[in-house]
Amino acid sequence: MLGICRTKASLTLQRLAKLNSFRALSSLGFTVMPKFALPSSNKHISTLSGISQHAIQRCSQWRCYASASSAGLSQDKITERVMTVIKLFEKISAEKLTIESHFMKELGLDSLDHVELLMAIEDEFGFEIPDQDAEKLNKPSDIIKYLCEKMEDRQYVCM
């Protein structure tokens, strides 16, 4: 009986981790999880805040996932942000722009415009793109793939 409760609760916790906000997780964790459900805990669980301390510790493993997807770092969100930045760049006409359109050959940018565009993307996502990577990013799809890889390196999830 206890074992079933434990596994059920931990499964629910994993499902809850995929939700988009930590607040939902913690509030549901408070109602769903009985206090003996955490497999590794023997400590007294305080219920002062309504959330068990071990719920918080366990949730911190999943916290970065939850905040990453809520902060807009899934592949769709990255695509959306990249395309918005590119559309706002005034030297590109929005009609010819697709995900696979080449900046220099199809959209008519020169290399200086390319540098400016990558600076705009650096500003949007908040980190610097080194020179040797920058010269390979010639299409919006290249940029999206590169950003997903960079986000994975930093232990965010690209779903």
Partner 1 sequence: MSASAASLSSQRQRVLSLYRQILRLARQWPGRPGVADPATEAAYIRTEAGTLFRQHKSLSDPVVIESHIAEAESRINLALHYNIPYPRMPNLPPGCLATPGQPKRRTARGMDDALPAYMKSYKSGYAPKIK
**CB neighbour class for 75 (10 Å; exposed up to 12, middle 13-18, buried from 19):** middle
Contact between 4 and partner 1 per CB under 8 A? no
CA distance 8 to 4: 6
Nearer to partner 1, 59 or 121 (CB): 121
Contact pick of 24, 88, 94, 119 for partner 1 (by CB under 8 A): 119
Residues 6+ apart with CB under 8 A from 11: none
Nearer to partner 1, 27 or 113 (CB): 113
Contact pick of 76, 80, 110, 149 for partner 1 (by CB under 8 A): 110
Taking CB under 8 A as the binding criterion, the range among 22-30, 53-61, 79-87, 113-121 that sits at the site for partner 1 is 113-121
Contact 21, 66 (CB under 8 A): yes
Residues 159, 67, 38: CA angle, nearest 5 degrees = 95
Nearest distance, CB of residue 110 and partner 1, angstroms? 7
Contact between 98 and partner 1 per CB under 8 A? no
Nearer to partner 1, 12 or 122 (CB): 122
Taking CB under 8 A as the binding criterion, the range among 34-42, 63-71, 116-124, 149-157 that sits at the site for partner 1 is 116-124
Contact between 124 and partner 1 per CB under 8 A? no
Contact 34, 9 (CB under 8 A): yes
Contact 147, 59 (CB under 8 A): no
Question: Does the annotation count 131 as an active-site position?
Answer: no
CA distance 65 to 18: 8
Residues at the interface with partner 1 (CB under 8 A): 110-112, 115-116, 119, 123, 128, 131, 134-135
Active-site positions? Answer: 110
